[in-house]
Amino acid sequence: MNIDDINFSDDFLKELEKLEGAMQESTRKEEIRKKRAEGGKLGGRPILSKKREFQKNVRLNEIEKNEIEALAKAYGITESELFRRSALNISLPNPERNKILSDYKTHFSRIANFFRNDVWNENEKNDFKQELKEIISLIKSNLTR
């Protein structure tokens, strides 16, 4: 007896398709859960590989203190991070560029969500979503610079 010789009812095939869809959805949700567990629901703060345990004190006059506070606020980082980046020659973040890239990331995410509708066939959806994911990952990597 061959598998092709067996006749399955339409109801059975529909139930099988529903079950397959539910399995795919549960797999997708499990992947999302694992990803969120790594960095929190919204991504969260990255876990430092090494704890910063040493401290250095710097003496400043009033003018220097105010300038450093203003500079750190302009870049959107702490004063400690400003000192650390300056001392180690690490580039400072560009807040304007990061805002624009963050907006782009949001828009691309919305486009990806839009393609979850039933307007396009699966191949078109998958191709376009993959391209969007690549662009979003490039934007995210540039946001951290």
Return all residues near 70 (Cβ < 8 A) that are at least 6 apart: none
User: What count of residues does the chain have?
Assistant: 145
Tell me if 78 sits within 8 A of 72, measured CB to CB.
Answer: yes
Q: Which residue has the tokens 């919204």?
A: 42
Q: Domain ranges in the chain? A: 58-91, 94-145
pLDDT tens string 33-51: 777 776 655 566 666 677 8
pLDDT tens string 133-145: 888 788 778 776 6
Any alpha helices (H) in the chain, and if so which ranges? 10-39, 62-75, 79-87, 95-114, 122-143
pTM, full prediction: 0.42
